[in-house]
Amino acid sequence: MDRKQATYRYVTSGGGTSENKFSYVAGKKKRKKNIRGLIRVLAVVAVVAALLVVVVLNFLDQGGRAGIGRVTKIAATITQNISTFDDRILYYDGTTIHCVLPSGANEWSYQIGTNADYDAAENKIVAWSGNELYILNSRGRLIYNNKMSDSIQFASAGKAYCAAFIGSADNGVVTVIDGEGRVIDNIPVEAQTLLDIGFFEATTSSSTQTTEYMWMLGLDTSGTVISTQLQTFQPGRLSTGKTSLGDYISYKIFAVNGILNIVTTREILHYTYRAVEDSSSTLIYGYTLRDVRKNGNTVYQLLIPSIELSGGLTVSNVRLMYGNVNRMIHLPGKCITALLGSRCIYGFSQDTIYACRFDDTTFTAYPLDIPLTNVLGMISDNRAVVASGSSIYIVELPL
């Protein structure tokens, strides 16, 4: 058939047939179909682009942050001595310590007996029950286990060492154990009430390598006036310094670049590994230090007005200090507490989480589906460990 001269027959309404002749131009119908298809594609692209614009504008309107992520319930309950452990969670159920991953799955468990307690550092857990001491690595494997000569008052874990205070509250010995399970020091405690022990890293004037040191804080009861005493030690080499802090009562000690920061109700004192004052104190009267986080070379300190820490929904303001910045920021609603993430300050109310970037001055509100009753801490990747009644959850926070 000549495709350029085609004859089509079709049925008429009277039942007969009719003929219609027309010229056929090759490829014309195909081009029309292609054009219609192209128009449809362009329409779809336009719709997708419009949707993307809406999403981007909404994203920018929220300060460039995503919303609340996954909320994961874990097996622990509020009464089970929960603590954060780097990017994981530890809890003690009355006989056993469990380590929980951010996914909510149990990574490992280790039985330590009843009436026990524990302390955890970056890569180590020290636990005690009566006079029995356990040291575990971050994978839950036993490094050290022994029955000590007397009851263990408390213990502390460091990066390379652990220490346990053995004896009575004002008459005992601090035993220091290394990462291989060897006892390297027995430091007597006399004429003072030992309050706490901790570890920190610092460099000396003769070496650029960091060394782990230990600090001890106690109340000196040998004189007519009770005073707080700071002692520093290099494990295996004993004392490196000792000083009196006067009548200041410390409630937190943290190290920054080898300097001990001793937080009192009035100010933050700064001391070297030799227990020598490094610089003038930082006045914080009327505020309580709530959280500290180091990102790179910057140390962020979050404080809350002491009058707002009476419990419940009482926190309305926070104070952020870093470098030369000392800024007060108002929360949009009353919160249970506030904490630091890797980029943001987070305020926690019963049904909302507020986020404010470190370089910003306003909070963005993000609704939460579970009613919060307590906030237990942060783990890495901006996940908060929170309580709703007796249940414990891991909440992924907006960045």
Q: For residue range 258-299, what is the model confidence (pLDDT) as tens digits?
A: 999 999 999 999 999 999 999 899 999 999 999 999 998 899
CA distances, 162 to each of 128, 172, 204, 273, 376 (Å): 12, 17, 22, 18, 24
Q: What is the pLDDT of residue 14?
A: 44
**Structure-block tokens of residue 338:** 């506030």
Task: Sort 160 into a burial class: Cβ within 10 Å, 0-12 / 13-18 / 19+.
Answer: middle
* Closest CA relative to residue 118, chosen from 132, 100, 104, 102: 132
Which amino acid is present at 368?
L
Q: What is the pLDDT of residue 246?
A: 87
Which amino acid is present at 206?
S
Q: What is the pLDDT of residue 192?
A: 87
**Structure-block tokens of residue 211:** 């060394």
Low-confidence ranges of the chain (pLDDT < 50): 1-32, 47-48, 53-65
Q: What is the pLDDT of residue 41?
A: 54
Helix (H) or strand (E) segment spanning residue 163? strand 161-168
Q: What is the pLDDT of residue 310?
A: 81
How far apart are the C-alpha atoms of 377 and 339, rounded to whole Å?
8
How far apart are the C-alpha atoms of 71 and 109, rounded to whole Å?
23
Domain ranges of the chain: 5-60, 71-77+289-399
How far apart are the C-alpha atoms of 36 and 13, rounded to whole Å?
33
> Which residues of 265-336 form beta strands (DSSP E)?
267-271, 277-283, 287-295, 298-305, 315-322, 325-335
Q: What is the pLDDT of residue 45?
A: 54
pLDDT tens readout for residues 321-371:
999 999 999 999 999 999 999 999 999 999 999 999 999 999 999 999 999
Q: What is the pLDDT of residue 225?
A: 81
Query: Ramachandran region of residue 311, left (φ > 0), alpha (ψ -120 to 50) or beta?
Result: left
Which residues are bridge partners to 355 per DSSP? 346, 364
H helix count then E strand count, the chain: 1, 34
Radius of gyration of the chain (CA): 33
How far apart are the C-alpha atoms of 131 and 166, rounded to whole Å?
8
**Structure-block tokens of residue 123:** 């890569």
Q: What is the pLDDT of residue 122?
A: 82
Q: What is the pLDDT of residue 42?
A: 57
Stated pTM of the model: 0.80
| Of the options 2.30.29.30, 2.130.10.10, 3.40.50.460, 2.60.40.10, the CATH number for the domain spanning 71-77+289-399 | 2.130.10.10
Q: What is the pLDDT of residue 56?
A: 40
